[in-house]
Amino acid sequence: MMRLLLWFILVVFPFTSVANVYPLPDQNSRLIGEVQKHIVQKGEYFQTIAKDYDVGILELMAANPDVDPFLPKEGTLLLIPTEMLLPDVPREGVVINLAELRLYYFPKGKQKVYVFPVGIGKIGSETPVMVTKVKSRIPNPTWTPPASIRKAHLEERGEVLPAVVKPGPDNPLGKFAIQLAYGRGSYLIHGTNQKFGIGMRVSAGCIRLSPDNIEWLFHHIAQGEKVTVINQTVKTATEPDGRKLIEVHSPLSKSKEKQIQVVNLSKKDRKFMDQYDIDTNTVDRTIMQQSGLPVNVGLFQSLSQ
């Protein structure tokens, strides 16, 4: 009866979630948020839990590697990855870190950062690294699938895609699209008509957001705002309280056959890890686990739980 009542409330009084919003730390700090904990209830699985907390399903899996994402046992304690280090780029406009499958939005003049889980390009159709800007905002977009996508769709599903898909429930771009001034302008940040794919590598190169999140971003972002797309697998930070933090994500595979990728460390990463007060054993373990959670690797400070 309670489940029926809840369903009625959600249908009659729908609500719009607005990503995860955090106070913006000062320039000497990069740590935002905190890890949340969730006890699995009967009938829940990672897809529904990820949606409830507005996080990506792959990041939820990385934070809980020993839990079956499809049949998590009732009563299992999950870590929700809502604590993170800001990417090491200027805090302007939109920043998308492909390795995290996250989009950060830094509204001008506000000490806040909004974090959205995103779907990105699949293997063979990778989303490119770029620094660009918002070219246009398109409500109720039409979709003109390129010949390559129409051919692949026919081969994989035996279905013929129309040359143009008009706005509506069958349009995979959803109700809103933000066009980027990159190349021929074919890269979009857009919504979706699918119930899955957020926080996964599923697109033909565009950046995919949930319907609620793209609607919010569409109405808040301005034409000409900066958009930065990076692929930063490792993030490090020395916090004002002395903590030495490292956050490691799984590198994006470039081959379907080779799914396990080696974490490549930059010169800046190695310099951070070569400091005298770094626990190298914890560093090695963190790189191996690739949990996507900030871990304290300092010898003299411990990350608060």
Render pLDDT for 232-250 as a digit per residue (tens, 0 to 9).
Answer: 999 999 999 999 999 999 9
What the chain holds in terms of domains, given with CATH numbers, is: 16-28+86-230 (2.40.440.10), 35-81 (3.10.350.10), 234-296 (no CATH)
Residues near 124 by beta carbon (within 8 Å), at least 6 away in sequence? none
CB atoms within 10 A of CB 258: 9
| Interatomic CA distance for residues 9 and 201, integer angstroms | 33
User: Catalytic residue numbers?
Assistant: 190, 206
| pLDDT at residue 4 in the model | 38
User: What does pLDDT average to over the chain?
Assistant: 88
| pLDDT at residue 69 in the model | 95
| pLDDT at residue 7 in the model | 35
Percent of the chain with pLDDT over 70: 90
Count of positions (residues) in the chain? 305
| pLDDT at residue 16 in the model | 45
- Express each pLDDT in 214-236 by its tens digit: 999 999 999 999 999 999 999 99
| Interatomic CA distance for residues 164 and 1, integer angstroms | 44
Q: Specify the 3-state DSSP secondary structure of 249.
A: coil
- Express each pLDDT in 92-112 by its tens digit: 999 999 999 999 999 999 999
Q: Average pLDDT of 154-182?
A: 85
CA dihedral (292, 297, 303, 305) positive or negative? positive
Whole-structure pTM value: 0.89
8 A C-beta contact, residue 98 and residue 252: yes
| Interatomic CA distance for residues 177 and 134, integer angstroms | 11
